[in-house]
Amino acid sequence: MTFRAQHLLGIEPLHPTEITALLDLSDRYAEENRRGVRHKDVLAGLTQINMFFENSTRTQASFELAGKRLGADVMNMSMGQTSLKKGETLIDTALTLNAMHPDLLVVRHPNSGAVDLLAQKVNCAVLNAGDGRHEHPTQALLDALTIRRAKGRLHRLSIAICGDIAHSRVARSNITLLGKMENRIRLIAPPTLMPAGIAEFGCEVFDDMEKGLEGVDVVMMLRLQKERMDGGFIPSEREYFHRYGLDANKLKFAKPDAIVMHPGPMNRGVEIDGVIADDINRSVIQTQVEMGVAVRMAAMDLLARNLRERRVDNRPVLV
Ligand code: CP
């Protein structure tokens, strides 16, 4: 198995063979989850702590389920009720938890880079569950698995990522992963929501949905991240939906068998028409949620194997 990482902090450090290894194992877990097969032995004896400093439904629930299906002891910290409220820093919180010898730490934080910083202070494996606008690696991996299962491959596809690119860690991780796997990436957004210099990542840039969607295999819509906006990025939600919201008329420009994706949570009627989101012939949004559990099982399984190996290598020599 080619996956040597100590932490999963982002897609950037991963080699394509590591991505493929992770997706192959995720595929196995996805099939076994459907059959109700459980693997309580994989993380047996290990402690997983989930620390979410930002709201989450899908990521937190699926990391918890993934850990429990693999037999870990899972603890969800209620971050609003910790001593952070009394002024304790993130690093002191991490050191405090580290002293309790966890094995897997799953962290979501509103600040870009906070999870990397925390990983430098602890002995366990750290998984980034989303940090600011930086990375959301397990989201990109579950998106990749969903695409690979729907299209039968994860290379030489034309993939449109549409909407609020500027504030999106999902876009950033997906651009990195899909680029590493040699896909053609088109970014479609109003100029106010397109980060400067993004074309350097090898993407084609559009501000018109119909032109950008022409002949694509995959349409990935993004949420308008109002919580990260401090000014007028769009004239109005109504106008935004008219120009950039995915509806049946715009989807006609993609290939007839193009799939529609959205990481959730969705703003129906803002970035996507509810009818398209619920169309089981086009939308794979619920499959993305399903693959989220499998990918997080695979990620924790592989990191735990590496953690156990490191601990064996570092054990004291008895004389
Ligand atoms: N896609 C995603 O990260 O969703 P949550 O915020 O619900 O975890």
The 3-state DSSP composition of the chain as helix, strand, coil percent (nearest 5) reads: 45, 15, 40
Element spanning 175, H or E: helix 169-180
The Cα-based distances of 278 to 231, 284, 292 in angstroms read: 31, 9, 19
Q: Would you call 225 helix, strand, or coil by DSSP?
A: coil
Q: Is 48 in the pocket of ligand 1 (CB under 6 A)?
A: no
User: So which residues are the catalytic ones?
Assistant: 58-59, 86, 108, 136
**Tokens coding 57:** 């439904």
Q: Is 57 in the pocket of ligand 1 (CB under 6 A)?
A: yes
Q: Is 112 in the pocket of ligand 1 (CB under 6 A)?
A: no
Does residue 177 have a pLDDT over 70? yes
Structure confidence by residue, pLDDT tens digits, 8-49: 999 999 999 999 999 999 999 999 999 999 899 999 999 999
pTM, entire model: 0.95
Which residue shows structure tokens 């129906």? 268
Going by alpha carbons, the residue nearest to atom 5 of ligand 1 is 56
Structure confidence by residue, pLDDT tens digits, 188-220: 999 999 998 887 888 999 999 999 999 999 999
Going by alpha carbons, the residue nearest to atom 3 of ligand 1 is 59
Structure confidence by residue, pLDDT tens digits, 81-127: 777 777 888 888 889 999 999 999 999 999 999 999 999 999 999 99
DSSP letter at 264? S
Element spanning 125, H or E: strand 125-131
pLDDT for 319 equals 52
| Closest to 220 (Cα-Cα) out of 275, 145, 271 | 271
In angstroms, the CA 64 to CA 82 distance is 19
Burial 17-43 (b: 16+ CB within 10 A, else e): ebbbbbbebbbebbeebeeeeeeeebb
Q: Is 228 in the pocket of ligand 1 (CB under 6 A)?
A: no
Instruction: Give the ligand 1 atom nearest the CA of 263.
Output: 1
